[in-house]
Amino acid sequence: RLPVWMAAYGPRALALAGQKADGFILQLADPYLTEWMVKAVRRAAEEAGRDPAAVTVCVAAPAYVGDDL
């Protein structure tokens, strides 16, 4: 069995990720929105009878590195 990962942003996609996916991918750098989205995914998992802690979360945020930005 291969794990299924899902990227999501909108409320319905976040709910689907919580209901079905093994992992949730989010590319976002805003801490407030990240917290809200992760909670939405975990809440959907719990409402679907799944362990919300079993949904792995991957947050990727852009970063600039250098001396002259």
Tokens (6 digits) for 58:
């991957």
pTM for the model stands at: 0.86
pLDDT tens, residue by residue, 1-13: 999 999 999 999 9
Q: Residue 54 gets which letter from DSSP?
A: G
pLDDT in tens, 34-46: 999 999 999 999 9
Contact 34, 26 (CB under 8 A): yes
